[in-house]
């Protein structure tokens, strides 16, 4: 998050807390004037409890918004087949073949498509890109394994 966004969020949060505290104080004073006695105390306690709950929920929302989010990409659907010679991955992808980018770097295979389509897969270290083809919206990627590997392929979200 950039510094200006953080300052804006902190300022907004401070203003919200100040407004909430003043609303809480106003409601409690108003309830004591209207209801007085034990009823006023009970209603005031309920109002205070509800407002505290509301402030806790707002605080949770702010904390969630500060957590890092993955890039806004759409996950691709794929099928994966492994045999003695290599690994075949079939990916359903809309768009044109020219818009498809396949990169192998170390243990990662990254597939990018038109727009925000992206999928990353973990592959064996020794695997090399053998070929890729694209027919009627289906991308076929063939990886060649250099040696036997005990590692399994796993997908992870970006």
Distance of CA 27 to the CA centre of its chain: 39
Question: Does the pLDDT at position 81 exceed 80?
Answer: yes
Residues 90 and 137 in one domain: yes
pLDDT digits (tens, 9 = 90+) for 18-75: 787 777 777 777 766 666 667 777 777 787 788 788 878 887 887 777 665 555 556 6
Question: How sure is the predictor about 1, in pLDDT bands with cuts at 50, 70 and 90?
Answer: very low
* Longest Cα separation, the chain: 84
pLDDT digits (tens, 9 = 90+) for 98-132: 778 888 888 888 888 776 777 888 888 778 888 98
Rounded distance between C-alpha atoms, residue 13 and residue 117, angstroms = 34
Residues 48 and 94 in one domain: no
Retrieve residue 57's tokens: 């929920």
Q: What is the pLDDT of residue 142?
A: 92
Question: How sure is the predictor about 145, in pLDDT bands with cuts at 50, 70 and 90?
Answer: confident
In total, how many domains does the chain have?
Answer: 2
Residue 155 contacts residue 120 (beta carbons within 8 Å): yes
Residues 58 and 87 in one domain: no
CATH of residue 106: 2.60.40.790
Rounded distance between C-alpha atoms, residue 143 and residue 9, angstroms = 46
Q: Which domain holds residue 25?
A: 3-66
């Amino acid at each position: 998050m950039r510094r200006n966004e953080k300052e804006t969020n902190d300022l907004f949060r401070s203003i919200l807390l100040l407004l909430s505290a003043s609303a809480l104080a106003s409601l409690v004073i108003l309830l004591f004037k209207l209801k007085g006695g034990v009823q006023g105390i009970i209603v005031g306690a309920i109002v205070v409890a509800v407002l505290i709950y509301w402030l806790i929920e707002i605080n949770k929302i702010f904390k969630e918004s500060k957590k890092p989010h993955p890039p806004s990409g759409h996950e691709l659907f794929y099928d994966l087949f492994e045999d003695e010679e290599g690994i075949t991955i079939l990916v359903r992808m809309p768009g044109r073949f020219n818009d498809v980018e396949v990169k192998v770097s170390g243990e990662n295979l990254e597939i990018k498509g038109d727009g925000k389509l992206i999928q990353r897969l973990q592959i064996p270290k020794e695997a090399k890109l053998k070929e890729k083809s694209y027919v009627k919206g289906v991308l076929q990627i063939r990886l060649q394994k250099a040696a036997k590997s005990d590692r399994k392929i796993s997908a992870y979200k970006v």
